Amino acid sequence: MMSEDAGQMLVMYDDPSDQRSLSLDETSSTEESPDEARLSLETTADSVPYIGQRFATHDAAYEFYSEYAKRCGFSIRRHRTEGKDGVGKGLTRRYFVCHRAGNTPVKTLNDSKPQRNRKSSRCGCQAYLRISKVTDLGPAEWRVTGFVNHHNHELLEPNQVRFLPAYRTISDADKNRILMFAKTGISVQQMMRLMELEKCVEPGYLPFTEKDVRNLLQSFRKSDQEDESIDLLRMCRNNKDKDPNFKFEYTLDSNNRLDNIAWSYASSVQSYEIYGDAVVFDTTHRLTVFDMPLGIWVGVNNYGMPCFFGCVLLREENSRSFSWALKAFLGFMNGKAPQTILTDQNMYLKEAIAIEMPSTKHALCIWMIVAKFPSWFNAVLGERYNEWKAEFYRLYNLESIEDFELGWRDMVDFFGLHTNRHIANLFALRTLWALPYLRSHFFAGMTTTGHSKAINSFIQRFLSAQTRLAQFVEQVAVAVDFKDQAAEQQTMQQNLQNICLKTGAPMESHAASVLTPFAFSKLQEQLVLAAHYASFQMDDGFLVRHHTKLEGGRKVYWVPREGIISCSCHQFEFSGILCRHALRVLSTGNCFQIPDRYLPLRWRRISTSPAKLHQSSSSDHMERIQLFQSMVSTLVTESAKSKERLDIATEQVSILLSRIREQPVASQGARDISPIHRNL
C-alpha cells in the first residue's frame, strides 16, 4: 500500500498517455518494508526483485524484471527516466512499469480520418520497479530502490501470458522460414501448423501468433510492392501482345502506383457467352504474401464442371473498389450481365451489385454462410447444435415462403434464439439465401454442397503460386487452360456414358441423346420419381401429388399446342431440369419427347461455346460439326410442327445452301473433312 505521506506525482513521461494515472512514491515501496524484502529473499532465492538488488546495467535489470513479470502473468515496459542534471552525468534513475499502467489518452476526433475502435488494456495499474545508479563505492552499478507488486487487475495464466506483445517474438531463423513458406504460396494457418510440427510444440504454443506472421508478411510486401506492380502490368501487356483477345483493366492511385487490376482470357469470354447465366463471385480469398483481396468469377458448364470467367485484385475492400471490379467484368463480357450472381455476405459487394448489375438477381452462397455456423452457434446451442442445424436445412429447402417464415419463428422459439444477433441477421437477409425466395431464378445447381466443393477445389488450383504477382497471373492461366478442361470433360463423359435407361420411356431415350451425361443423370432422377406421382386434371391445369398423399401437391400448367409447361415448384426455373411433376403430366398426356425449350442449350452435348465457331483450328473441327448437327436437328424438329414453319425453313435453307456453295473450300478445311468422308 502507498504511505499516507505520498510523495510527488511524476510529471515526466516517456508516454504522454500516462500523465493522468501513474503516481509513484519514492518512499512508498518495499524500501520501507525491510521485513517484506527479507521474506522475498528467503522464499524465492532472488527470483523476486528486492530493495538493494544490484545489476551491472539498467538493461540487465529490465531483463530480470521482465522474466519475473512473465512468470507472474504480466509484462512490463520502460516508463520514466531521470538524470541528465549535469553534463556527462547521464541517466541516474529508471522506472519499469506494468504494461497496464496509465490510462488511454482521450483522442481528438478528426472527421477526415476513420477512427479505429480498439479497446485499451491500460487500467492505471500502480505496479513498478525503480532502479537508481550508484557510483559511490567503485564502478557504477544499478540498485533497486523501489518495488511495488500490487496490481489492480487479474494476472494471466502461464498459457495466456505468452500472447502478450512483449513476449511474442519471431527469430531471424523463423522469419526466413516464414518468407520461404510464403513463396510456396501456402496459407498462414498452414505455416503455423508446419512450424509447430518442426519445433515439436503443441498447436498454439509457438512464440508468435498468426497476426504476427501476417504483420511480418505485410512488411515484406511493402518492401518490393512497386516492383511487383510493374512486373504484373508488364505480364498483362505481354499477354495482350501475344493474344489480342486477352482482356485486362487497371487503375492507379494518386502516387501513380497500381491500385486495382482485373483480367480475363479469350476462352473465358467465349465460355461466358453460353454459361454466364449464373455466376459465383468469390471474394473470400486473399493473396497471402501481398494481403490483397482477390475476387474470382466462376460458373458451371454443361458437364457440371467449374469454368473460369475472370479475376480481380483490389487494394481496398469497399463499395468503390467492388463497383470498379464489376464494371471491368461487364466490359470484358461485352456488357452482358449474368441472370444471377452468388457472393459471400459482404455489404460493400451487395451495394455495388445493386448499382452496377441492377437486373441481376443477387444471392448469398449458402455454403459460405454454413461454414460460419460452428463459430456462431456451437457455444450457444451446445449439444443441441446438430439438432438445430438439421432444422435449419429443413427450412432452407422449403418451397413456400409462408411455410419458411412460420417455421423460422417456431425454430427461434424452440431453441430460445430470440436475442441471438446472428439469427436476427440471417432472417433479415433471408431473401438473399433461403430457397423459397430464390426458386424462380436460375442458379445452375451452384447452391448445392457438391458444386461448392468442386468450385472451391477449382479455385485452389491457382491459389498456390503467390511468390510474385506476375507468377500468380501465369498460374491462373495454367489452371484455366481449356485444353485441360476439355480432357476432363472427355473423361467425365466416358465415365457417365454407359448410364443405362431406367424407365424405358421414349422421353428418357430422347433426353439421353441430347443432354450431357451430367444433365441427363439429373433428369433421369426426376423421370424415375415421376412414376410415383399421380396427376389430376383441373379446370386451370393439373394437380400432381405423391401416390401416398391424399392432399397437397404441385400445380402444373401445360399448353400442348405451344409446348409450354410449368410447375409451382419452379425446379426448371431454378436448375434448368424439368421436375418430376411436369414430367408426370407430359407422360400422362402421351408426350414422347420433352419439348425442345426444356432441353436448354447450356445442358446439351456441346463442349464449347458458339463463339468458338470462329476459330479455325483443326482440334475443334469435330466439335463444330457436332454443334451444327444439333442445330440442324433442332431446325427439323421445329420446322415440322406446322406447314408455315416448314415453308419458311425450306426457303431459307435453300438460300443458305446456295451461298455456301459459292464459298471456296480451304486446303485446311479439306484436310479436316476428308477423314469424315472416308468414314461415311
Three-class SS string for 143-200? Answer: EEEEEECCCCCCCCCHHHHCCCHHHCCCCHHHHHHHHHHHHHCCCHHHHHHHHHHHHC
| Residues in a beta bridge with 281 | 297, 343
Cite the beta strand spans of 5-90 per DSSP E: 54-55, 76-83
Sign, CA dihedral 428-430-431-437, equals negative
Sign of torsion, CA 196 200 206 207? negative
Contacts of 487 (CB under 8 A, 6+ apart): none
- Pairwise CA distance, residues 94 & 285, whole Å: 48
Residue with cell 494481403: 291
Per the structure block, which three cell numbers stand in for 94?
Answer: 529508471
d(CA 298, CA 306): 7
Q: How far is CA 656 from CA 186, 648, 651, 653, in A?
A: 57, 12, 9, 5
Torsion of CA 159, 165, 168, 170, to 10 degrees: 160
DSSP structure class, residue 1 = -
State the pLDDT at residue 329.
96
Does residue 359 contact residue 398 with C-beta atoms inside 8 Å? Answer: no
What does the DSSP 8-state code read for residue 109? P
Q: Which regions in the chain score pLDDT beneath 70? A: 1-46, 83-90, 105-120, 137, 183-185, 220-229, 288-291, 462-471, 478-499, 607-631, 633-634, 637-638, 641, 665-680
pLDDT, residue 10, reads 32
Distance CA 463, CA 466 (A): 7
Helices (H), 571-642: 571-575, 580-588, 621-639
Overall residue count recorded for the chain in this entry: 680
What is the spatial distance between Cα 214 and Cα 472, in angstroms, rounded to a whole number? 19
What does residue 138 show for φ and ψ, rounded to 5 degrees? 115, -145
| pLDDT in the model for residue 501 | 83
Phi and psi torsions of 16, nearest 5°: -60, -20
What is the structure's pLDDT at 191?
86
Judge contact between 130 and 24, C-beta under 8 A. Answer: yes
Cell of 283: 471474394
Q: Which of 98, 79, 84, 108 is nearest to 16 (CA)?
A: 79
| Maximal C-alpha separation, the chain | 122
The DSSP letter of residue 30 is G
CB 100 within 8 A of CB 121: yes
Rounded Cα–Cα distance for residues 607 and 118 (Å): 54
Where do the H-state alpha helices sit in 261-400?
A: 266-275, 319-332, 347-356, 366-370, 373-381, 385-396
With H, G, I as helix, E, B as strand and everything else as coil, classify residue 71. helix
pLDDT in tens, 638-650: 677 678 888 888 8
CB burial of residue 95 (10 Å; 0-12, 13-18, 19+)? buried
Give the whole-angstrom CA distance, residue 197 versus residue 195.
Answer: 5
Letter for the amino acid at 390? A
Tell me 604's DSSP state.
B
- Residue 619 confidence (pLDDT): 40
Model pLDDT, residue 471: 64
3-state secondary structure of 505: coil
Considering just the CA atoms, what is the radius of gyration of the chain in Å?
A: 36
Geometric angle at alpha carbon 223, from 219 and 229, rounded to 5°: 115
* pLDDT in the model for residue 488: 57
Question: Which amino acid does the sequence have at 280?
Answer: V
Phi, psi of 118 (to 5 degrees): -110, 130
Q: Which residue type, as a one-letter code, is found at position 463?
A: L
Residues 594 and 578: their CA atoms lie apart, in Å, by: 9
Q: From CA 395, how far away is CA 457, in angstroms rounded?
A: 28
| DSSP H/E element including 362 | strand 361-364
Of 614, 618, 603, whose CA–CA distance to 270 is shortest?
614
* Residues forming beta bridges with residue 622, ordered by sequence position: none
pLDDT digits (tens, 9 = 90+) for 418-471: 999 999 999 999 999 999 999 999 999 888 877 777 787 777 776 654 545 666
Please state, as a whole number, how many other Cβ atoms lie within 10 Å of the Cβ of residue 325: 27
Identify the H or E element spanning 424.
helix 421-428
- Given phi > 0 = left and psi -120 to 50 = alpha, else beta, which region is 295? beta
The Cα-based distances of 564 to 539, 580, 598 in angstroms read 17, 16, 9
Residue 354 is which amino acid? Answer: A
pLDDT at 611: 43
pLDDT at residue 669 in the model: 39
Q: How much is the pTM?
A: 0.59
